[in-house]
Amino acid sequence: MNREKIRSWLPIVKCAVLAVVWTAILGWLVPQGMLVSRYDWHPRSFGLLRYLAVLPLALGTVMCYAAIWSFATVGQGTPAPFDPPRRLVMQGFFRYVRNPIYVGAVLIVVSEAALLQAVSVPLVLWITGIFAGVHFLVVLYEEPVLRRKFGADYEQYLKQVPRWVPRLK
């Protein structure tokens, strides 16, 4: 395999590793530990709420992985600050919300609580803390960096696409 071929696959491989680690740790292992081990509780039935929770879980997962794929293939980088995209990504879920990975992650964790039919104070604090931390990261770091890097294109994108709640038009 030549160097150019390897170089073209490198962002995809880096994004895949990042996605698996990020999803497994923040979206599954930590909340699982908060719900299951703390209460030594395991669900016994798969009621209606749990069936319905599969929908936002699936949407959140698709949002995260599709957005990460877009970072690798279109942006030629990763969502990580140490390897940011080289091009502005405005396709896929990025047409509807500026932060589909974060929105998808919140959907995953909330769905997990519904699937386990359990809500705990630590889990609510975890979700609130993640969202607050991500919000400040986006507002204080990511958006200023993207403004400097992509200029007028990013300013136009900010006007057209909301930060957290998707505009479906």
| Mean pLDDT of each 10-residue bin along the chain, 169 residues long | 61 66 65 58 60 85 87 80 83 92 84 70 77 90 92 94 84
Please tell me the predicted confidence (pLDDT) of residue 76. 81
pTM for this entry: 0.75
Which residue segments constitute the domains of the chain, with CATH numbers given? 3-160 (1.20.120)
List Cα–Cα distances, 105 to 57, 112, 113, in angstroms: 9, 11, 13
Instruction: Determine the Cα–Cα distance for residues 107 and 61; give it in Å rounded to an integer.
Output: 8
**What is the spatial distance between Cα 121 and Cα 119, in angstroms, rounded to a whole number?**
7
Q: Which residue type is seen at 71?
A: F
Per-residue pLDDT at 116: 67
For residue 71, what pLDDT is reported? 84
Q: Name the one residue in this structure whose structure tokens are 């030549």.
A: 2
Q: What is the pLDDT of residue 110?
A: 79
